Amino acid sequence: MKVVNVAEPAAEAARLRKAANAISDGLMAQARAIMDDVAAHGDSAVIEYTAKFDGARIGSLKVGREEIKSAYGNVTKEQIRALKLMKARLEKSELAVLKRLKKIVVKSEGVVIERAVQPVASVGCYIPGGKARYPSTLVMCAVPAKAAGVKRIVAVSPPTRDGTIDALTLVAADICGVDEVYKAGGAQGIAALAYGTESIKPVSKIVGPGGMFVTAAKIAASGSVSTDMVAGPTELLIYADASADPRLVAVDLISQAEHSPDTVCGLVTASEKLAAQVQEQAGRMSEGIARSEIVKKSLAENGFVAICKDEKACAEFANEFAPEHLEVMGKRADAFARRIESAGLVLIGKDAPSSASDYCLGSNHVLPTLGFGKSRASLSVLDFVKLVNRVKVSKAGLAKVSGAVKELATAEGLPNHYEAVRVRK
């Protein structure tokens, strides 16, 4: 892990750290080339790229009903119970938000505005694969979509070398009411959802996390279809004071670092002693564990420790970095958390590891990365609905605003705008 002694201003150091993980123009060009190929050649291009990047030779993109049924024979009852717990907790949280949006009516002097909640017509959920399996991500994407009332929910995920999708992911899709599942990962999977192919009809919106390549593809697709956010590769920033347990800080950094080598994990602290202890613990704990190679590479290439002069500077660093996950450990954890304005998710206290939030706390683990925590938070039911304004105006209500419309239309050089109002007097 790289050590950075942060000079003032702390925000500038965070900007430099964040810039080091920006998506390159070269990566964007690669993603666009693949997507253009899929747009031109459909299924055949997706199948070719699946063979090239995933090492899987497949004849059909769609996962059949029998394949989903047989997946149940390859999972345990305990795993199914865990999926259902995750689904129930997340669903409760999402429905609580949706309930607040019901029956919004605004009345003002002859004008009635009804703000009606309407679900997005169709959604494509990108579920990562590769070096790990992510049935939890399917739950995080599909449950809020289902709660919102989306009629068509599609999932795409890269197959393993034997041409199948992870059994637990297929079971999760069935439990969560996903309508269609396809074997398509990477930029080619995003392109299939955005532009459509012979097998896959295009969707209204694409959601879900992925590595740098998938993130680049989602950015490229956003010119043609709505997307949720920049979501990947994963990030974890931990703020800890001198009282924090270095073992807990180290194990949490490792827990996120095991995702992939491009994961970004860091500690920000004002304690040089804690910084040294965390480095020592992380180095020692990384030896001989599962996925050790990925963890070591991730921490070596993208891990960092930022040492700031005080708590205020640490908060400035965190707000500018705007991490996907921010853990806060220390005596003044609540006070520090109140300073945070930019983070996808804030986890407060020593018993709130980001790994737990990835599964069963009831929060969503699809979160903004690469600094987009400044402008939004987690995926939620709000990503799957739109507020449609239905406006009724009486003759008296139009007369009330006639003068203001005249002034504004005249100022903007659009006289016929006012004329449409004047003739109704």
Sequence-distant (6+) residues with CB within 8 A of 289 are 254, 295
The 8 Å CB, 24+ separation contacts for 73-78 are: 74/167, 74/168, 75/167, 75/168, 75/171
Q: What is the 3-state secondary structure (H, E, C) of 262-290?
A: CCEEEEEECCHHHHHHHHHHHHHHCCCCC
| Domains identified in the chain and CATH numbers | 2-21+233-362 (3.40.50.1980), 25-227 (3.40.50.1980), 394-422 (no CATH)
Dist CA 390 CA 112 (whole Å)? 8
Cβ atoms 192, 154 nearer than 8 A: no
Of 211, 30, 22, the residue nearest 127 (C-alpha): 211
Pair type for strands 264-269 and 304-307: parallel
Look-up of token digits 């590891």: 353
pTM listed for this prediction? 0.91
DSSP state of 374: G
Cβ atoms 13, 4 nearer than 8 A: yes
> What pLDDT, on the 0 to 100 scale, is given for residue 133?
86
Which residues are marked as active site? 324-325
Query: Mean pLDDT per segment of 10 residues, for the chain of length 425 residues?
Result: 83 83 91 97 98 94 96 98 97 96 93 96 93 90 98 97 95 98 97 98 97 94 95 94 98 96 96 97 96 96 95 96 97 97 97 96 96 95 96 97 97 98 93
> What pLDDT, on the 0 to 100 scale, is given for residue 18?
80
Dist CA 21 CA 395 (whole Å)? 57
> What pLDDT, on the 0 to 100 scale, is given for residue 131?
67
DSSP state of 363: S
Pair type for strands 104-108 and 111-119: antiparallel
Look-up of token digits 């992870």: 166
State both tokens at 395.
């003759």
Point out which residues pair with 137 in neighbouring strands.
none
State both tokens at 316.
């400035």
Dist CA 324 CA 99 (whole Å)? 27
Burial class (CB in 10 A: 0-12, 13-18, 19+), 100: exposed
> What pLDDT, on the 0 to 100 scale, is given for residue 13?
83
Structural Rg of the chain based on CA atoms: 24
Helical axes 292-302 vs 246-257, angle rounded to 10°: 100
Q: Cβ of 104: how many Cβ atoms within 10 Å?
A: 13
Look-up of token digits 């409760």: 92
